[in-house]
C-alpha cells in the first residue's frame, strides 16, 4: 500500500517554489524512490536531480518525458509547469540559512572561504571557480568511527578578463 507524501513544500523555505515542485516531491515519496533511482532512470546524477526537484535546475524535454514515466505523472502537466518557457529562479532560503544542515555548509564557507580563495589564487591566479560549469557530488564514506559525508564541488576555473 502506498504511503502518501510528506513534503511540506507549502511551508518555509519551499513556499517560494512553483507548486509543480510539490507534485514532483510528492510523487517521489509515493513511489518510495530515492533521488539516485530517479537519476538512473533519467540518466542524471542524484544531486542534479535533487537540485531540479527543488527548482534549482532545468529539465529538458527528454528529461520531462522520462520523469513522467518513472513518477507516473501526466506528461502534459510537467510540460505545462516546467517546459520550454520555464527557467529556474535559483537560490532557496534566507541569506543566512537557519536549518542546521544547511547552516553547516554555510559555516564551511564563512570559515574556509577566504583560505580557499587564497589557494585558488595561489594555484590558478586571478579568477574564480565557476558554480555554473560545476558538478556537485554527495557521497557516503563508511568509517568505523562514524560514516562520513564527502561533498565535492568540481568547477571550471575562469580567469578574469583583462582588456
Q: Is 110 in the site for a second copy (CB under 8 A)?
A: yes
Smallest gap from Cβ 29 to a second copy, in A, equals 4
Catalytic option among 62, 69, 130, 148: 130
DSSP, res 3: P
Catalytic-residue membership of 107: yes
Residues 29-68 that bind a second copy (CB under 8 A): 29, 34-35, 44-48, 50-51, 53-54, 56-58
CA-nearest of 131, 93, 39 to 47 is 39
Catalytic option among 69, 77, 90, 104: 104
C-alpha cell at 91: 537560490
Is 72 or 95 the residue whose CB approaches a second copy more closely?
Answer: 95
Burial (CB count <10 Å: 0-12, 13-18, 19+), residue 10: exposed
Smallest gap from Cβ 11 to a second copy, in A, equals 5
Taking residue 21's Cβ as centre, other Cβ atoms within 10 Å add up to: 20
Spatial separation of the C-alpha atoms in residues 29 and 82, rounded to whole Å: 19
Residues 115-154 that bind a second copy (CB under 8 A): 115-124, 126-136, 138, 140-141, 143, 145-154
- Catalytic positions are 104, 107, 130
Amino acid at each position: 500500500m502506498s504511503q502518501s507524501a510528506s513534503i511540506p513544500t507549502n511551508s518555509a523555505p519551499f513556499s517560494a517554489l512553483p507548486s509543480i515542485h510539490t507534485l514532483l516531491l510528492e510523487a517521489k515519496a509515493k513511489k518510495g524512490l530515492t533521488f539516485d533511482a530517479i537519476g538512473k532512470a533519467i540518466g542524471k546524477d542524484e544531486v542534479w536531480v535533487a537540485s531540479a526537484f527543488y527548482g534549482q535546475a532545468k529539465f529538458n524535454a527528454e528529461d520531462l518525458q522520462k520523469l513522467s514515466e518513472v513518477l507516473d505523472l501526466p506528461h502534459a502537466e510537467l510540460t505545462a509547469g516546467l517546459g520550454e518557457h520555464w527557467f529556474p529562479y535559483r537560490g532557496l532560503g534566507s541569506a543566512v540559512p537557519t536549518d542546521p544542515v544547511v547552516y553547516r555548509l554555510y559555516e564551511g564557507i564563512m570559515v574556509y572561504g577566504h583560505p580557499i580563495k587564497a589557494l585558488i589564487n595561489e594555484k590558478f591566479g586571478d579568477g574564480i571557480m565557476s558554480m555554473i560549469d560545476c558538478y556537485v557530488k554527495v557521497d557516503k564514506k563508511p568509517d568505523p568511527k562514524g560514516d562520513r559525508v564527502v561533498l565535492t564541488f568540481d568547477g571550471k576555473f575562469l580567469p578574469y578578463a583583462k582588456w
